[in-house]
Amino acid sequence: MYCIHCMNNISTVGTDALEAAGYAFVEDPAAANAWLVRSANLNEMEMPHDLLAIARAGAGVNNIPVERCAQQGVVVFNTPGANANAVKELVICGMLLACRDIIGGVEWVHEASDDPQIAKRAEKAKKRFAGFELAGKRVGVIGLGAIGAEVADALIALGAEVMGYDPYLSINAAWGLDRRIEHATDLDQLLSACDFVTLHVPATDSTRGMISAEAISKMKHGAVLLNFARDALVDEQALAEALDDGKLARYVTDFANPASANMKNAIVLPHLGASTGEAEDNCAVMAANQLRDYLENGNIVNSVNYGRVDLGPLVSGTRLALFHENVQGVIGEVSQAIARGGLNIENMSNVSRGANAYTLLEVTGNVTDALVSELEGLTGIRRVRHIVR
Ligand SMILES: NC(=O)c1ccc[n+]([C@@H]2O[C@H](COP(=O)([O-])OP(=O)(O)OC[C@H]3O[C@@H](n4cnc5c(N)ncnc54)[C@H](O)[C@@H]3O)[C@@H](O)[C@H]2O)c1
Ligand SMILES: O=C(O)[C@H](O)COP(=O)(O)O
């Protein structure tokens, strides 16, 4: 039986499914074989010896020490696309909030609510909250993954012109994009051409601070910046100055922090992008299914630190799962040790991602503790799992 610890509240459709499959939920993270997490920050945490996997019910994994986990043979999963629709809807809402002073108008009505003359006064007051339309404006989408692509499609449906920038887009993902999205070949081209710029990239070493003072200086005067990705993408001091002096008209963000919460002309939300029942359910179910497939079958689907390996369900027999460095000779040493142990390899898959490699073997014969110890002792091996149905 496997034990799971939840680092955050996870939708019960995911946790119930795990319980129904015989999994136990434990209070102590060190007693768990897998953690389910949303935004809890695990970066400073030690990974306990028995921890096999972490499943992020969501997209961003900047709260997880992904590479350190890889070194320890801990697989980190996320749930690509499972909350994209929810975020898309809030991004479009954020753009519309920036087009007109809807929030100011609502506040005005609230303050005047006891006035019997409110209807007459509203007709005079409304010009203060007027604005412009999204249709016909040019919107730059930085990052055309699950969320960026959906945002781009929705904007086209609303009559906006869309320019996209994503130098890492796979050919398959590019084929799926609407042909009307104008392709920006560099970031400056997008920044200088767009009335709205919306960020949909992960927070990584290469994207942190990408909206720097210099990047802001290239944006159109009076442009609107939307950030539903991560606050670390933006130089917030440069941004506060740009909002103060009118270089940027509005900042709409999902990340409340002491800097953003006090910015002039900012609309700041409390990280609501993925907080819909539908998105929470989607993420929880996907995370639970991926954990089960890995723990019970050794298959790795949607990991951010190991490549995809899928031998299908383990119907009978036994599997050996090996985490190792992506270096020459490891597979040879492993197969020799297995042959010496009198086992036959029926099926195998080996996939590497950067420096991290994973080999899943379906074997017949008796897997002894001595063989597992021998495999663990081979140069370059990080972890060995013996999976039995
Ligand atoms: N506000 C929220 O609640 C919420 C919800 C989900 C995701 N997010 C954030 O949004 C991010 C994106 O989510 P997603 O589901 O679209 O992820 P995704 O992995 O599907 O897409 C990310 C895209 O960014 C691109 N990219 C990476 N570096 C880039 C760069 N330097 N310039 C341009 N493009 C670059 C990638 O090629 C990829 O296509 C997440 O990493 C997370 O930080 C926030
Ligand atoms: O990266 C994500 O998926 C979002 O930021 C959602 O985070 P949450 O699960 O804490 O709402």
pLDDT at 316: 84
Q: Which residues line ligand 2 (CB under 6 A)?
A: 38-39, 58-60, 83, 271, 273-275
Range of the domain at 282: 1-82+277-305
Clarify whether residues 108 and 185 are in a common domain. Answer: yes
- Measured at the CA of 103, the angle between CA 101 and CA 107, to 5 degrees, comes to 115
Which ligand sits nearest to residue 203's alpha carbon? 1
Per-residue pLDDT of the chain (389 residues; tens, 9 = 90+): 899 999 999 999 999 999 999 999 999 999 999 999 999 999 999 999 999 999 999 999 999 999 999 999 999 999 999 999 999 999 999 999 999 999 999 999 999 999 999 999 999 999 999 999 999 999 999 999 999 999 999 999 999 999 999 999 999 999 999 999 999 999 999 999 999 999 999 999 999 999 999 999 999 999 999 999 999 999 999 999 999 999 999 999 999 999 999 999 999 999 999 999 999 999 999 999 999 999 999 999 999 999 999 999 999 889 999 999 999 999 999 999 999 999 999 999 999 999 999 999 999 999 999 999 999 999 999 999 999 98
Tell which atom from ligand 1 comes closest to the C-alpha of 273. Answer: 3
Any alpha helices (H) in the chain, and if so which ranges? 12-20, 66-71, 84-99, 102-111, 118-125, 146-157, 171-175, 187-193, 213-218, 236-244, 277-292, 330-340, 369-377
User: Are 230 and 178 members of one domain?
Assistant: yes
Does residue 338 sit in the same domain as residue 378?
yes
Report whether 134 contacts 155 (CB < 8 A).
yes
CB-ligand 1 contact for 165 (6 Å cutoff): yes
What ipTM was assigned to the predicted interfaces of this complex? 0.99
Token reading at 380: 């370059």
What is residue 336's three-state secondary structure? helix
235 lines ligand 1 (CB under 6 A): no
Minimal-distance CA residue to ligand 1 atom 25: 143
Cα(145) to ligand 1 centroid in Å equals 6
Do 295 and 230 fall into the same domain? no
> How many other C-beta atoms can be found within 10 angstroms of the C-beta atom of residue 16?
13
CA of 49 to the centre of ligand 1 (A): 31
Q: pLDDT at position 371, please?
A: 98
Query: Which one of 287, 305, 323 terminates a domain?
Result: 305
Using DSSP's 3-state secondary structure scheme, residue 354 falls into coil
Q: Is the dihedral of CA 224, 227, 233, 235 positive or negative?
A: positive
Other beta carbons within 10 angstroms of residue 89's beta carbon come to 16
Smallest CA separation from ligand 1 atom 37, residue: 168
This prediction's pTM: 0.97
According to DSSP, the β-strands at 3-6 and 34-37 are parallel
Q: How far is CA 366 from the centre of its chain?
A: 41
On whether both 39 and 28 belong to a single domain, the answer is yes
381 C-alpha to ligand 2 centroid (Å): 33
**Closest by CA position to 386, among listed 321, 327, 303:** 321
Task: Tell me what pLDDT residue 300 has.
Answer: 98
> Do 208 and 111 belong to one domain?
yes
pLDDT at 177: 97
Contact 90, 273 (CB under 8 A): yes
Confidence (pLDDT) at 389: 85
**Residues 116 and 193 placed together within one structural domain of the fold:** yes
Closest CA to 42 of 66, 73, 72, 11: 66
Residues 288 and 227 in one domain: no
Q: Indicate whether 340 and 262 sit together in one domain.
A: no
* Calpha distance 210→208 (Å, rounded): 6
**Domain CATH for 16:** 3.40.50.720
Looking at all shown ligands, the one closest to residue 80's CA atom is 1
Q: Are residues 310 and 300 in the same domain?
A: no
What separation, in Å, do the N-terminal and C-terminal C-alpha atoms of the chain show? 11
DSSP string, 25-65: E-S-GGG-SEEEESS---TTPPPPTT--EEEESSS--TTS-
Q: Can you read off the two tokens belonging to residue 67?
A: 């590479």
Q: In terms of domains, do 164 and 185 share one?
A: yes
Burial of 6 (0-12, 13-18, 19+ CB in 10 A): buried
Token pair 């993408």 is found at: 233
CA atoms of 21 and 6, how far apart (whole Å)? 17
DSSP H/E element including 249? strand 248-253
How close is the Cα of 143 to the center of ligand 1, in Å? 6
Total of domains in the chain: 3
Mutational pocket test of ligand 2: of 9, 66, 271, the residue with most ligand atoms within 8 Å of the beta carbon? 271
Both 132 and 236 in one domain: the answer is yes
- In this structure, what CATH number is given to the domain that contains residue 364? 3.30.70.260
Q: Please name which ligand lies nearest the alpha carbon of 55.
A: 2
81 by DSSP, 3-state: which? coil
Closest of 123, 126, 137, 134 to residue 98, by C-alpha: 134
